[in-house]
A = this chain, B = another copy of it.
Amino acid sequence: MKNTESTENYLKSIFKLQTVDKKVSTTDLADYMGVRAASVTGMLKKLARKKLVSYQPYKGVTLTHIGRKLALKTLRTHRLIELFLVEHLGLSWEEVHGEAEKWEHVISGKIEERIDKLLGYPLHDPHGSPIPSANGELKIKDTVRLDRVQEGESGTIEEVPDEDPEFLAYLGENDIIPGNKIKVLEKSVVGKTLKIQITSKKHTIGLKAAEKIRVHQPKDKGRK
């Protein structure tokens, strides 16, 4: 009756894809997890039997209440570990995701509490993602995609994706780090680029890459 590593990874993946559109398709899940669609079908049946997901053949999956709880618990552990690895073991932010992907399945509740305390009950991981609370609540901040920010507007980097080490290294080199102030200087729809100002440095980034970066803008739309 114990939950396996695979189970936790599936629930976490479904949770992430679910935030985009309600129901998650077999193929999307397979692509995201790097396994074959047939494997996903098999696994979804098992998860459904354990009441962790609600699954209708050909129509996609959603998490049940208990499945969502477990997904958030794993996500919480994952993000606490990431921050711990950066803050206390001096790893760089591009290295920690892979490690956390393994650690998240073996850390006991007690150790998680200790790490949480040691870090001062943090609210965000190194990539700006919110850390779910111990009782499974997650607050989503109001943000916009960087590619949607208008010319002349500014804001604060809120969150970047944590999976791709290369992309993270690139972002780090250009100070595109959560907390930093950012201003859009020029947007070229034809050239698919965005000229930005960040920490007194100017930089041009592709619009495709900018899609992945979430920016927080104050109510007044950040004119300045």
Bound-complex Cα distance A88 to B103 (A): 17
Is A135 on the interface with B (CB-CB < 8 A)?
no
Q: Which of B99, B111, B118 contacts A111 (CB 8 A)?
A: B99
The answer to whether B89 touches A115, judged by C-beta atoms less than 8 angstroms apart, is yes
* A93-109 at interface with B (beta carbon < 8 Å): 95, 99, 102-103, 105-106, 108
> Which residue of the partner chain B has the closest CB to A85?
B111
Chain B nearest Cβ from A8, distance in angstroms = 13
The answer to whether B99 touches A108, judged by C-beta atoms less than 8 angstroms apart, is yes
> Which residue of the partner chain B has the closest CB to A105?
B106
The answer to whether A118 touches B89, judged by C-beta atoms less than 8 angstroms apart, is yes
Is A212 on the interface with B (CB-CB < 8 A)?
no
* A152-181 at interface with B (beta carbon < 8 Å): none
Please name all residues of chain B whose beta carbon is closer than 8 Å to the beta carbon of A95 when the two chains form the complex: 110
* Residues of A bordering B, CB below 8 Å: 85, 88-91, 95, 99, 102-103, 105-106, 108, 110-111, 114-115, 118
Cβ-closest 5 pairs across A and B: A102-B106, A89-B114, A106-B106, A103-B106, A99-B108
Can you give 18 A-B contacts (C-beta < 8 A)? A85-B111, A88-B88, A88-B118, A89-B111, A89-B114, A89-B115, A89-B118, A90-B114, A91-B110, A91-B111, A95-B110, A99-B108, A99-B111, A102-B106, A103-B103, A103-B106, A105-B106, A106-B106
